[in-house]
Every structure is written in C-alpha cells, then in structure tokens.
Amino acid sequence: MRFCIDAHAIGRKLTGNEVYIRNLLSGFAALDDKSEFIAYVSERGAEESIPDRFTVRRVSANPFVRLGFDLIRRVAQDRPDLLHVQYTAPIACHVPVVASVHDVSFLEAPQFFPPARVAQLRITVKRTVQRAVRILTPSEFSKQAIARAYGTDPDRITVTPNAVSGQFRPIAREVAQARVRERFGIGGPYVLMVGDLQPRKNQVGLIEAFEALLREHPQLTHRLVLAGKHSWYWSQVRRAAERSAIADRILFTGFVPDAQLPDLYSACDLFVFPSFYEGFGIPILEAMACGRAVACSNSTAIPEVADGAAIVFDPASQAEMVRAMRDILLDAELRQRMERLGIARAASFEWRDASQKTLAVYYEVAEARARAQSRERVASIGH
C-alpha cells in the first residue's frame, strides 16, 4: 500500500494540527513496516520530524498554490492508494481522500473567528467533508457536530482520540523551576495557560478572573503565565493585561516549542484551560501527564477529555473560574488528588492507539478501492 499525507503543518507552529500529524507519522513508522508513506511538507527543516524511511516531498506553504496545484501534481505523480488531509483537500484529487476534521468551531462559534476566515472554511471544509470517503475526528462531541453540520452519515466518521507524547511527564519541581527561570525569566509560583492567543481560548476572561482571585485572596503570590502563539487577536489580549490592576503579574511567553513545554507545565502550581470551544484539548492531557492539577471549561469536548480528573467551570462565569482556581490553590489535599487523577487519565491516551485506528481506516479505504477497481476490470473484460 502507498499512503500520502499532507503534512504541511509540520514546522509552521500550527500547534494542535502540527502535534497531531507529527505524532501520527511517528506512530505509523512504529506500527507499519510494509506500506510506503509519502509526506508532503512545506517548511524547510520539517523533514527532520519525518520518520527516516518515509519519502518526503515539498509543496508550497502558500495554501492557494498547495491546494490548487502542488498537491494535485504530487498525487498524480505518486499515485497513492489515498491522500490524508486536515480540514481541506486539494481542488482536484483522483484518489480517495481521508480527512481529519478536529472540530467545526467556525460553524458553531463563528464569533471567535475573522469573518473572512469563516467564509473560507465554510466553503473548503464543506467541500472536503462531502467528497472524503472517511472523516477522522478526535472526540464524540466533534463527531456529532460534524454529522449535524453537514448531514454526514455517522458511519463515515471515525473517532480517533488525540493523545500526549512520552516527553510529557513529571519533572522534579526544583529542576523545572530552575529551567523556567533561566529560559523565561519566571520566578516564584504561577498559574499557567497554554494555547494560541485567540478569542475562543478565552485568555481575556482568565485575566479578569485571575485579577478577581487575587483581589479576594491577597495572600496568593502567584503570577499568571500565558503561553501561546500571538495571533490576530494578540493586541486585544495584551490590552486586557495592560488594563488589569495586576498587569505586573501577567506574563506572556509567546510560542513555546514542545521540547520546553514539560518544564513550563511541571513548574506551575495549577494549569487552567478556560476555552469556550474545543474539539479535543491536547494541553489538558499534557498538563495532567506532567503531574499538574487542572481546572478547565465544562464546554464542548473538554469534559470528554478531562473525565473527572479536573475541576470544571462554566467559561462564561467569572465566579466559577475564580472558585475552581481558589479551591485548587488553597486546598493542598484537593490539588494532590487532582494531580494523581490527572496522571492516570493522561496515561489512557496514547498516540500509538490513534495511529493504529488511523491505519485501520487507511487499509479499509485502500482495500475498498482495490475491490472496486477489480470489479471495474472484470466488467470491462466482460464487455
């Protein structure tokens, strides 16, 4: 079998999309030594993240060129049994398409996106979902949302949960704190949030809730650390921090590579994930795997991921967010219990499982195609 994967996200700091495809490819290499894999990448140096025996081909970083020309040409040359994409397939493709659609937040919560981005995704993702032979998504929540949004047969949608890689594990607090102090200049206790700076991640709401927490409990000496890539929404998050009465206790790290995240998680006292909408929520598992207590939203797919191993709150309620942070920070017994539950919960998600389920879909699609081609050949001979 020959499988082609659009891996253009690797090296582009596309957070969840990049983590997803990079870990899938690593899992494929460990599980399948018979099939041929071809990865299409855009960024220079991305090939370093591709397993050695995989073929790497370069496509344009420009989405119009990549989807309108490069992928079409590459697939025609490579003649794979299928092409795997995330969200958007090329304009034309003469092999079966397997599409990963992590969520449909742009449809269900369009207020969190620039209008032009919503308009583009409405068109391209709908076209991709309609033409894909199988759709992969990381949660039951997203499966139901996709089926509802596009009228898709649920049997065409396979849930392949995301996971957390082995590099996320507890690190001795003193060691992690020393590295965080050296790399980021962050000393003393802190509350952490990891995620791109964008409206649906709700960093502004967290800033306001953290200020309220310190106002109610001035004995707390914590800072709030917001780690994530600066997006079009960055200026509004920055202004919210500058307007805050605790502006000097709010720190931004910018994008943090995976290699440095375990230290950042391990050195914090609490991880908070206040997002309004998620198709999964990988940072929740990363924090849990590093032994940190988690407080997170009770919305969309997030409770499905946390499953009782976190304190949950309504992301639109400042009072609930404050209460969740307060309870964990001031109750050592509760914090330690949530840390234990989190480690156990994170251990139940492995990229090997996600890769195995994805490969099973690949083989089903490829074998169905082979049977169809065989029937066509027999029919043509009969005529």
Lookup: tokens for 42:
């855009």
Q: Whole domain around residue 178: which residue ranges? A: 173-347
89 in the same domain as 63? yes
In a domain, 56, yes or no: yes
Same domain? For 151 and 178 the reply is no
List 4's β-bridge partners, or say none: 38, 83
Q: Which runs of E-coded beta strand occur in the chain?
A: 2-6, 36-41, 55-58, 82-86, 97-100, 134-137, 157-159, 190-194, 223-227, 250-254, 270-273, 294-297, 311-313
> Has residue 75 been placed in a domain?
yes
Same domain assignment for residues 179 and 320: yes
**Is the full-model pTM beyond 0.85?**
yes
Does residue 168 belong to any structural domain of this protein? no
Cα gap 370→364, rounded to integer Å: 10
Identify the CATH number of the domain in which residue 109 sits.
Answer: 3.40.50.2000
**Residue position matching structure tokens 């891996």:** 7
Q: CA geometry: angle at 283 spanning 250 and 28, to 5°? A: 145
Tell me 66's DSSP state: I
Tell me how far apart the alpha carbons of residues 224 and 49 are, in angstroms, rounded to a whole number: 32
Q: Is 337 in the same domain as 221?
A: yes
What residues pair up with 297 in beta bridges, in sequence order? 313
What is the count of structural domains for the chain? 2
Does 184 share its domain with 209?
yes
| 90/235 same-domain check | no
Among 273, 203, 201, 210, smallest CA distance to 245 is for 210
Per-residue pLDDT of the chain (383 residues; tens, 9 = 90+): 999 999 999 988 767 899 999 999 999 999 999 999 999 999 988 999 999 999 999 999 999 999 999 999 999 999 999 999 999 999 999 999 999 999 999 999 999 999 999 999 999 999 999 999 999 999 999 999 999 999 999 999 999 999 999 999 999 999 999 999 999 999 999 999 999 999 999 999 999 999 999 999 999 999 999 999 998 999 999 999 999 999 999 999 999 999 999 999 999 999 999 999 999 999 999 999 999 999 999 999 999 999 999 999 999 999 999 999 999 999 999 999 999 999 999 999 999 999 999 999 999 999 988 887 777 766 666 55
What pLDDT sits at residue 121?
95
Residue 36 CA from chain centroid, whole number? 26
> Is the domain of 34 the same as that of 131?
yes
Q: At what angle do helices 15-31 and 351-382 cross, to 10 degrees?
A: 70
- Other Cβ atoms closer than 10 A to 145: 22
Instruction: Please tell me whether residues 239 and 124 are part of one structural domain.
Output: no
Q: Are residues 111 and 253 in the same domain?
A: no
Same domain, 60 and 79: yes
pLDDT at residue 374, as a whole number? 74
In this prediction, residue 372 carries a pLDDT of 77
Residues 189 and 306 grouped into a single domain: yes
274 and 194 inside one domain = yes
Write down the residue that tokens 């709700």 correspond to.
202
Q: What is the pLDDT of residue 380?
A: 66
Is 113 among the domain residues? yes
Tell me the CA distances in angstroms from 126 to 4, 101, 272, 365, one per residue in order.
22, 10, 33, 20
